[in-house]
């Protein structure tokens, strides 16, 4: 269960009973009390609850204010601004970004208009060769441009952009509306812009530090070729130097295919790897199944960590996973964009990186 899911559960409990206790929540959610306290602090910062000793209470306005607030809400316009959001997909990772942005937009009477650039029937099922990737990149770039132009033509006042194209395209310099990059970073060639992203390098470092603390030095790494992959490998490089990890272990960064993942597992086992980090969850779950089919136990023979934490907790051996703060990323990006739109002068630009968390489960333990 990631932070957004835990906080949703806490909010549902608050709405039912009006108050919650940290100890009870920790037991119900299967996490430590300190994790619950961190969730409560984050939720208080977003105005969702009030912390009290040993727990929290639902934030409610004083009774005398409620009728006036209801009348004001009834007379207020339904929406004050319209912003657009571009994502490559509404599946898997990206739907949490959308939900976070939508929650902030709703709370501030803004309308969010969504466009999807990367999902198309011809995006899937090819052999995955270099020419195919080049063709796919060209199609993604065309769709990014087409959907951004469509959103601007619809009259959106600003944009939240997670382009399918990486690095982000330089034609963004010509946009006539403010925008914030979401889970994308500014290339040096692009004029200064705001971005809000996960610090994936730190997230990966957390995973390798966790494995090193449990005695693992022979750690293999498989990553699908995504915008996240280079940062995972940077995290590995930092951990390798700090914890004296074996540099001879397989490190793979290539477009996913079943064959590529099987070849990686063969190489990792042949090299004597005692732990594997896989990006993303679906690859980790497959590796878990294949290890079992070979008569190997997780974590006794091979420890396993996933990067993304979408479904890792639901594997037959719950998989330790790095969880980027996806919903908070979307929330923060929408907050930044609406702040810019409300300002008389453009605020100072900023690059915001939010830290992932590591959820430790049964697939790793001390050697």
Domain map of the chain by residue range? 3-62, 81-198+326-354, 200-324
Strands 194-198 and 179-182: parallel
At 320 the pLDDT is: 97
* 121-133 burial code (b ≥16 CB/10 A, e <16): eeeeeeeeeeeee
Token pair recorded at residue 232: 């995972």
Q: Where residue 118 falls among pLDDT bands split at 50, 70, 90?
A: confident
Q: Which CATH number applies to 200-324: 3.40.50.720, 3.40.50.2300, 3.40.1450.10, 3.40.630.10?
A: 3.40.50.2300
**DSSP bridge pairs for 50:** 57
β-bridge partners, 144: none
Query: Residue 72 CB: number of other CB atoms within 10 A?
Result: 10
The pLDDT value given to residue 45? 77
pLDDT of residue 96: 93
Is it the case that residue 159 has pLDDT exceeding 70? yes
Q: Give the bridge partners for 224, in sequence order.
A: 254
The strands making up 320-323's β-sheet, listed across from edge to edge, are 251-254, 219-224, 275-279, 303-307, 320-323, 357-359
pLDDT value of position 366: 63
Dihedral angle over CA of 325, 330, 333, 334, nearest 10: -150
The domain made up of 3-62 has a fold known as Arc Repressor Mutant, subunit A (1.10.10)
Q: Is 316 exposed, middle or buried (0-12, 13-18, 19+ CB in 10 A)?
A: exposed
**Percent of the chain whose pLDDT exceeds 70:** 89
CATH 3.20.20.105 fits 81-198+326-354, yes or no: no
pLDDT at 26: 87
Q: Residue holding tokens 């990014």?
A: 144
Q: What band does 7 get if pLDDT is binned at 50, 70 and 90? A: confident
Residue-wise pLDDT for 193-220, tens only, equals 999 999 999 999 999 999 999 999 999 9
Provide the whole-model pTM: 0.75
Asked, as a colleague might, if the bond just before 280 is cis with ω within 30 of 0, I would say yes
Domain 81-198+326-354 shares a fold with domain 200-324: yes
pLDDT exceeds cutoff 90 at 269: yes
Largest CA distance in the chain: 71
Q: For 280-327, how does the pLDDT look when each residue is reduced to its tens digit (9 = 90+)?
A: 999 999 999 999 999 999 999 999 999 999 999 999 999 999 999 999
| Mean pLDDT, the chain, whole residue set | 87
Least confident of 108-117, 133-142, 180-189, 273-282: 133-142
Give the residues across from 278 on adjacent strands: 222, 306
Length of the chain as a residue count: 367
Predicted pLDDT at 14: 80
- Lowest pLDDT segment from 85-94, 260-269, 288-297: 85-94
Distance between CA 155 and CA 158 in Å, rounded? Answer: 9
Please, which pLDDT band fits residue 138 given cuts at 50, 70 and 90? confident
Token digits of residue 113: 């208009």
Percent of the chain with pLDDT over 90: 61
Q: Is 49 helix (H, G, I), strand (E, B) or coil?
A: strand
Residues 38-73: tens digit of each pLDDT: 888 888 877 778 888 888 887 765 444 445 555 554
């Amino acid at each position: 269960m990631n932070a957004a899911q835990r906080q949703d559960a806490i909010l549902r409990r608050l709405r039912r009973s009006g108050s919650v206790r940290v100890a009870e929540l920790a037991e119900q959610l299967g996490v430590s009390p300190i994790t619950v306290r961190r969730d409560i602090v984050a939720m208080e910062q977003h105005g969702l609850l009030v912390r009290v000793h040993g727990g929290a209470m639902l934030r409610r306005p004083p009774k005398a204010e409620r009728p006036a607030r209801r009348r004001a809400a009834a007379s207020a316009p339904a929406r004050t601004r319209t912003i657009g959001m571009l994502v490559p997909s509404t599946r898997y990772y990206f739907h949490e970004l959308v939900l976070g942005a939508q929650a902030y937009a709703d709370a501030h009477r803004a309308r969010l208009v969504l466009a999807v650039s990367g999902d198309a029937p011809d995006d899937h099922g090819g052999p995955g060769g270099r020419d195919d990737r080049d063709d796919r990149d060209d199609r993604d770039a065309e769709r990014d441009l087409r959907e951004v132009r469509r959103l601007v033509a619809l009259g959106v006042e600003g944009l939240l952009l997670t382009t399918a194209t990486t690095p982000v395209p330089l034609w963004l310099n010509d946009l006539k509306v403010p925008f914030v990059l979401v889970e994308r970073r500014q290339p040096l060639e692009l004029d200064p812009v705001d971005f809000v992203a996960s610090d994936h390098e730190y997230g990966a470092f957390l995973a390798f530090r966790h494995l090193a603390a449990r005695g693992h030095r022979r750690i293999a790494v498989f990553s699908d070729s995504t915008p996240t992959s280079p940062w995972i490998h940077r995290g590995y490089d930092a951990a390798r130097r700090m914890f004296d990890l074996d540099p001879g272990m397989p490190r793979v960064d290539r477009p996913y295919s079943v064959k590529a993942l099987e070849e990686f597992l063969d190489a990792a086992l042949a090299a004597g790897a005692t732990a594997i980090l896989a990006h993303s969850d679906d690859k980790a779950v497959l590796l878990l199944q294949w290890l079992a089919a070979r008569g190997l136990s997780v974590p006794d023979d091979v420890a396993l960590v996933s990067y993304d934490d979408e479904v890792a907790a639901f594997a037959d051996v719950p998989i330790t996973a790095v969880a980027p703060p996806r919903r908070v990323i979307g929330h923060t990006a929408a907050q930044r964009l609406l702040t810019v739109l409300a300002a008389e002068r453009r605020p100072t630009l900023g690059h915001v990186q939010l830290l992932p968390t590591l959820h430790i489960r049964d697939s790793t333990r001390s050697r």
